Amino acid sequence: MAPETEDPIRRLLAARPRPQLPEDFAAAVMRRVRQQQQADERQHRVGARLVLGAYWLAAIGASAWILGQGPLPEWTTAILWVLALLLVPAGFAFALWSRPGAAVTGERG
Amino acid sequence: MEDEPAVAEYLRSRDPEVFRTLVERHQSRVFRLVAGLLGPFADRDAQEVTQEVFLRAHQRLGSFRGEARFSSWLYRLAYNYTLQHKRRARLRLPHLPVDALETLSSRDGPHEAAAERERRQTVERLLEGLPELYRTVVYLHYWLDATVEEMAELLAVPSGTVKSYLSRARARLRAQDCAAGIEGVD
C-alpha cells in the first residue's frame, strides 16, 4: 500500500478502540446455554405429549373399528390391543422423550 | 484435554464444566474473528454475536464429526453466523452514525470536526468497498493487530493466501485512493 494510502487507514483503525470481552463472558454464555436447554426441554415435552395423545386416540379408534368389523380369533385380538395400546405408544414415548439429536447444520466437522 | 476428546466427553456426559472449558479456550479468538468481520464501525454487536456463536455451537455440537479440528469447525460457524448477522443488520432502519455522536462531544470547532468526519468517511468508504475477505484481513491486521498465522487459522486458509488477500486489498485501496481523494488525508 502506498504510504499516503496506508497511513490514514492505519491511523483511522488504530484510533478506534479495540473491543474487549468482559471477564465473566464464559459465565454469561453458560447461563444462556442453560436457558436454551430448559426452553428446548419444555418445547420437546409439550410436542411429545401432543403427538402421543393424538396417537393414542387414533390407535384406540382404529382398534375399536377393527374389533367392530367381526369376530377375530382370540390371539389376534390380544396382539392387536398390546400393539395398539402398549408397545407402539411406548416406543413413541421413548423416542420422543429421549434427548433430541443434533440439528442438521451446514457446518461440517 | 484436547478439543476433540472434550467435545466427545461433553456429548457423553453433558457436564457443563466441559463445555465451559471449550468456551474459555476459544472465546478470545472467536471474538476477534467476529469483531474483525463486523469491523471497527459496527463492533458494538461483537459481544452479543460471539455469545450467539457459542450458543449455536452448543446446539450443533452433535453434528461435529471430528473430521476437522474443532477450532476450524467453530471458526467456520462464527464466520457464517457473523456474515448472516451483518446482512440482517443492513436491513434494519438506518441509525445515527457513531461519527455524529463523536462530533457532538468533540472539543474541536464545528469546521474541524466536519473536515475530520469527512476524511474518516472517505477512508471508511474505501474499506467498506473492499470484498468481505480482503476487508476482514485489513481489519484483523491493522485494527486488531492479528498476525498472518492467526488470520490463517481463523479463516481456515494457508498463510500464503492471507498474505495474498492483504496484498490485493492494498492494491485495490491504492487503485482507489486518487479517485477518493485520500491523499488529502495526510
d(CA A75, CA A81) in angstroms, rounded, equals 10
ipTM greater than 0.95 = no
Residue predicted with more confidence, A59 or B51:
B51
Least confident of A50-64, B2-16, B31-45: A50-64
Q: CB pairs under 8 A, 24+ apart, for B161-164?
A: B162/B137
- How far from B54 is each of A10, A40, B39, CA to CA, in Å? 31, 16, 20
pTM above 0.90, yes or no: no
Q: What is the largest CA-CA distance in chain B?
A: 64
Any A CB within 8 A of B124 CB: yes
- What are the residue ranges of helices labelled H in A16-73? 25-68
Break chain B down into helix, strand, coil percent, rounded to 5: 80, 0, 20
Class of residue B155 by CB neighbours under 10 A (exposed 0-12, middle 13-18, buried 19+): buried
- What crossing angle do the helices spanning B16-38 and B3-13 adopt, rounded to 10°? 130
Q: What pLDDT, on a 0 to 100 scale, did the predictor assign at position A5? A: 53
**Dist CA B173 CA B182 (whole Å):** 10
Distance from CA of A85 to the nearest CA of B (A): 33
The CB density around residue A52, as the number of other CB atoms within 10 Å, is 16
Q: What is the pLDDT confidence band of residue B93, given thresholds at 50, 70 and 90?
A: very low
A8 interfacial to chain B (CB closer than 8 Å): yes
Mean pLDDT of the region B51-70 = 92
* CA–CA distance, B186 with B168 (Å, rounded to integer): 23
The distance of Cα A108 from the centroid of its chain, to the nearest Å, equals: 20
User: How far is it, in rounded angstroms, from Cα B161 to Cα B167?
Assistant: 10
What cell does B63 get?
453434528
Q: CB pairs below 8 Å between A and B: how many? A: 126
pLDDT for B97 beyond 60:
no
Q: In the predicted model, what is the mean pLDDT of residues B158-170?
A: 93
Reduce the DSSP state of residue A2 to 3 states and report it. Answer: coil
- Among the partner-chain residues B46, B73, B143, the one whose CB lies closest to the CB of A107 is B73
Residues of chain B in contact with residue A8, where contact means CB-CB under 8 angstroms, are 119, 123, 182, 185-186
- Gap from B92 CA to chain A (nearest CA, Å): 23
Report the residue from A7, A32, A103 with minimal CB separation from B63. Answer: A103
Give average pLDDT by consecutive 10-residue segment, chain A, 109 residues: 60 84 94 90 82 82 79 75 74 64 44
Structure confidence at residue A28 (pLDDT):
95
- Find residues 3-42 of chain B whose CB sits inside 8 Å of chain A: 16, 19-20, 23-24, 27-28, 31, 35, 40-41
Chain B from 85 to 114: CB within 8 A of any A CB: none
- The secondary structure of residue B183, as a DSSP letter, is G
